[in-house]
């Protein structure tokens, strides 16, 4: 039974301690409540000031945000135009490369044809041959003349 007696005293001391704490909370409650209400009022006033400043800033920068949005839209349009123009430029560069390759090929053919036209070595050979034939004809004419003279 000794244990039951100590449990009863312990329970009684807890109850007394709880009553002391309740009395201390009741005693400090008005002061704490007053301080909390004051703090609440201060926070409410601060929030009102912040709200007013926010609305003032919103009104003063409203034109700038509109300009920013307008410039952002313009930038987006310009970037889209740039991409389409870049694509067109690359396509045209590819086409230019193909045309330059064909041009180089045609120029090579023209140069070869021009060389064959300007190559007059066959013509020179023909002229030399004609000159040789004329000399041979003169020599034959001279011999014919000598033989005719000798015969007459």
**Run of H or E including 80:** helix 2-118
- Look up residue 55 and give its two tokens: 């609305």
Distance CA 18, CA 20 (A): 5
Task: Please identify which residue in the block is written with the tokens 């009553």.
Answer: 19
Q: What is the mean pLDDT of the chain?
A: 87
Q: What is the pLDDT of residues 1-14, one digit of tens each?
A: 445 556 668 888 88
pLDDT at position 78: 94
The residue ranges of every structural domain in the chain are 2-119, 120-152
Instruction: Report the b/e string of 122-148 with b at 16+ CB within 10 A.
Output: eeeeeeeeeeeeeeeeeeeeeeeeeee
Q: What is the pLDDT of residue 86?
A: 94
Taking the C-alpha atoms of residue 32 and residue 38, their distance in angstroms, rounded to an integer, is 10
Residue pointed to by tokens 């002391």 = 20
> Would you place residue 121 in the very low, low, confident or very high pLDDT band (cuts 50, 70, 90)?
confident
> Is it the case that residue 37 has pLDDT exceeding 80?
yes
pLDDT, position 1:
45
At 110 the pLDDT is 86
**145/137 Cα distance (integer angstroms):** 12
Would you state the pLDDT for residue 5?
54
Task: Give the Cα separation of 14 and 7 in Å (integer).
Answer: 10
């Amino acid at each position: 039974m000794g244990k039951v007696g100590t449990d009863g005293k312990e329970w009684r001391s807890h109850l007394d301690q709880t009553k002391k704490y309740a009395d201390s909370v009741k005693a400090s409650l008005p002061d704490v409540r007053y301080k909390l209400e004051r703090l609440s009022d201060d926070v409410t006033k601060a929030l009102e000031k912040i709200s007013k400043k926010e609305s003032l800033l919103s009104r003063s920068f409203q034109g700038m945000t509109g300009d920013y949005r307008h410039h952002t839209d313009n930038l987006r349009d310009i970037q889209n135009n740039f991409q389409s123009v870049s694509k067109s430029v690359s396509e045209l560069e590819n086409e230019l490369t193909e045309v330059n390759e064909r041009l180089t090929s045609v120029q090579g053919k023209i140069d070869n044809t021009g060389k064959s036209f300007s190559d007059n070595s066959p013509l020179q050979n023909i002229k030399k041959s004609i000159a040789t034939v004329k000399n041979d004809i003169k020599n034959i004419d001279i011999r014919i003349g000598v033989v005719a003279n000798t015969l007459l």
